[in-house]
């Protein structure tokens, strides 16, 4: 397999799949350029060696063909600003104009192709469309982790047209390496923190993690299904009754596998799902009717923090409570701070999938953890142990 670090791009046209699906406001201004920043190391490596770059991405969810609001022309200026050079743009990702521009690219030049999803063949993963895209480059680099779980034309199908010249970009490489550090080559003790709204959306991850971790900290809305499964009274908390048996099974498996599970012993409970609600602290297994658990309590925070600070490898997926509301943010904030502190003490920490990424950003701790994943859904599936088509296509 080719590695980007060892590949010589001199004189090559590199077709790079990036994830520039950036948020835009109503004035078509980019409100968060993280994804563009994240692709820069790969682009610069190619350019610095005398290669040229053809960038391809999707933006939003266009329905039937081109839609002005999803045009990638809106992000040209930002790419130029971040990259520090002018770039070319083609208003279709295939066709005469696009080929003319890509074939005439000189060393050090960059061309951005229009939104791939203006062609429905992209999402359908059509072979002929992938072949048409492949015409643009001598070498294919996939650096779009956010779409690696999709078998689309530009993310997976295209790779077969570059049997000896396909590779991951630096960003995907880092994502793969981070997951591997957590799940395969981990330094123990390993602690997984899984929160968020529902057990149902995290069940496969939890099952996959039981074979890999020493400690499993459960938080967020899903904690109440576990607490109820243990026989607790959880008032009006979010409960998935269909998952009570599953929760029991997980608790039993954890005992069998010697994994220590932390279900929050206490909770901040509220009489409404609102920042203006009346709140109180109470044991998670004895929440009064009319109240719902919206954050982990002081005792749970202390226990979780102690566990995190004693860990050498940490995975965090999903918030501990409704951290979007100030009254229920403390649990998530304290966990975020503990993960940052453990990292400073030498632990490896990966924050990925779900709203935990938003949480570390909210508490300005993103640069204090080892890796914050750029791929929500892709990271979730990767942690579930699934094979991601975009990754498999490069490895095969
Ligand atoms: P997820 O996308 O599964 O990581 O879920 C994130 C969402 O779960 C966030 O929007 C939180 O507000 C929500 N959440 C966290 N804790 C609770 C809770 N105790 N009850 C209801 N929702 C929660």
The CATH code that applies to domain 13-168 is 3.40.50.1260
Distances (CA, A) of 379 to 104, 117, 146, 357: 37, 22, 8, 11
Shortest-distance atom of ligand 1 to CA 356: 4
Distance CA 241, CA 68 (A): 45
Which pairs count as long-range contacts for 361-369, CB under 8 Å and 24+ apart, including other chains? Answer: 362/323, 362/329, 363/332, 363/333, 363/336, 363/337, 365/336, 365/337, 365/339, 365/340, 368/340, 368/343, 368/344, 369/316, 369/339, 369/340, 369/343
* 346 CB-side CA count, 13 A: 5
Determine if ligand 1 sits within 6 Å of the CB of residue 207.
no
* Residue 354 confidence (pLDDT): 67
The CATH code that applies to domain 176-383 is 3.40.50.1260
Determine if ligand 1 sits within 6 Å of the CB of residue 2.
no
Residue nearest to atom 13 of ligand 1 (CA): 197
Fill in the DSSP letter of residue 328: G
Note the residue count of the chain: 396
Residues of the chain with CATH 3.40.50.1260: 13-168, 176-383
Distance CA 364, CA 343 (A): 15
The residues, ordered by sequence, that sit 6+ positions from 246 with a Cβ below 8 Å of its Cβ are 199, 203
- Identify the helix (H) or strand (E) that includes residue 394: helix 389-395
Spacing, Cα 197 to ligand 1 middle (Å)? 4
The residues, ordered by sequence, that sit 6+ positions from 150 with a Cβ below 8 Å of its Cβ are 123, 156, 389, 390
Residue nearest to atom 18 of ligand 1 (CA): 221
* Residue 208 confidence (pLDDT): 93
Helix (H/G/I), strand (E/B), else coil: 342:
helix
* Residue 356 confidence (pLDDT): 86
Determine if ligand 1 sits within 6 Å of the CB of residue 375.
no
Enumerate the active-site residues.
Answer: 35, 198, 354, 377
Spacing, Cα 211 to ligand 1 middle (Å)? 25
Ligand 1 pocket check: which of 293, 294, 319, 324 to mutate, most ligand atoms within 8 Å of Cβ? 319
Residue nearest to atom 1 of ligand 1 (CA): 196
Residue nearest to atom 17 of ligand 1 (CA): 221
The residues, ordered by sequence, that sit 6+ positions from 83 with a Cβ below 8 Å of its Cβ are 40, 43, 44, 110
Distances (CA, A) of 322 to 43, 87, 275, 296, 356: 38, 42, 10, 10, 11
Model confidence, pTM? 0.91
Q: Sign of torsion, CA 222 226 229 233?
A: negative
Spacing, Cα 262 to ligand 1 middle (Å)? 17
Q: Which of 238, 248, 241, 245 is nearest to 270 (CA)?
A: 238
- 234 burial level (CB within 10 Å; 0-12, 13-18, 19+): buried
Whether the Cβ atoms of residue 347 and residue 314 lie closer than 8 Å to each other: yes
Fill in the DSSP letter of residue 187: P
Distance CA 331, CA 296 (A): 5
Instruction: Say whether the peptide bond before residue 189 is cis (omega within 30 degrees of 0).
Output: yes
Fill in the DSSP letter of residue 247: H
Per-residue pLDDT of the chain (396 residues; tens, 9 = 90+): 899 999 999 999 999 999 999 999 999 999 888 899 999 999 999 999 999 999 999 999 999 899 999 999 999 999 999 999 999 999 999 999 999 999 999 999 999 999 999 999 999 999 999 999 999 999 999 999 999 999 999 999 999 999 999 999 999 999 999 999 999 989 999 999 999 999 998 999 999 999 999 999 999 999 999 999 999 999 999 999 999 999 999 999 999 999 999 999 999 999 999 999 999 999 999 999 999 999 999 999 999 999 999 999 999 999 999 999 999 999 999 999 999 999 999 999 999 876 888 899 999 999 999 999 988 889 989 999 999 999 999 999
Tokens of 311: 């860990």
- Identify the helix (H) or strand (E) that includes residue 279: strand 279-283
């Amino acid at each position: 397999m080719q590695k980007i670090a060892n590949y010589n791009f001199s004189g090559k046209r590199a077709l790079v799949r990036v994830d520039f699906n950036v948020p835009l406001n109503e004035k078509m201004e980019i409100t968060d350029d993280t994804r563009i920043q994240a692709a820069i190391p790969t682009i610069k490596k190619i350019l610095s060696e005398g290669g040229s770059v053809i960038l391809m991405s999707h933006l939003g969810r266009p329905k039937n063909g081109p839609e002005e609001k999803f045009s990638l022309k809106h992000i040209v200026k930002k790419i130029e600003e971040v990259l520090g050079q002018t770039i070319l743009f083609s208003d279709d990702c295939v066709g005469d104009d696009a080929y003319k521009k890509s074939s005439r690219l000189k060393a050090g030049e960059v061309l951005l192709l229009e939104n791939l999803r203006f062609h429905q063949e992209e999402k359908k993963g059509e072979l002929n469309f992938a072949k048409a895209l492949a015409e643009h480059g001598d070498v294919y680099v996939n650096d779009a982790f956010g779409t690696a779980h999709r078998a689309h034309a530009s993310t997976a199908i295209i790779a077969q047209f570059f049997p000896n010249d396909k590779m991951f970009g630096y960003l995907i490489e880092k994502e793969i390496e981070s997951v591997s550090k957590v799940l395969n080559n981990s330094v123990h003790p390993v602690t997984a923190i899984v929160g968020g709204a529902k057990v149902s959306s995290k069940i496969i991850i939890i099952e996959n993690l039981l074979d890999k971790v020493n400690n499993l900290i459960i938080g967020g809305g899903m904690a109440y299904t576990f607490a109820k499964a243990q026989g607790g009274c959880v008032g009006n908390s979010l409960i998935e009754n269909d998952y009570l048996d599953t929760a029991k099974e997980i608790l039993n498996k954890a005992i069998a596998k010697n994994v220590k599970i932390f279900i929050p012993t206490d909770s901040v409970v509220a009489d409404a799902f609102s920042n203006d609600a009346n709140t109180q602290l109470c044991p998670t297994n004895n929440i009064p009717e009319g109240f719902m658990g919206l954050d982990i309590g002081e005792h749970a925070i202390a226990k979780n923090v102690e566990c995190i600070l004693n860990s050498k490898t940490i995975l965090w997926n999903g918030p501990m409570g409704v951290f979007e509301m100030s009254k229920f943010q403390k649990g998530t904030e304290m966990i975020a701070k503990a993960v940052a502190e453990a990292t400073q003490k030498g632990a490896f920490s990966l924050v990925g999938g779900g709203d935990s990424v938003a949480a570390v950003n909210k508490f300005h701790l993103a640069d204090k953890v080892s890796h914050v994943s750029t791929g929500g859904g892709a990271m979730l599936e990767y942690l579930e142990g699934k094979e991601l088509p975009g990754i498999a296509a490069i490895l095969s």
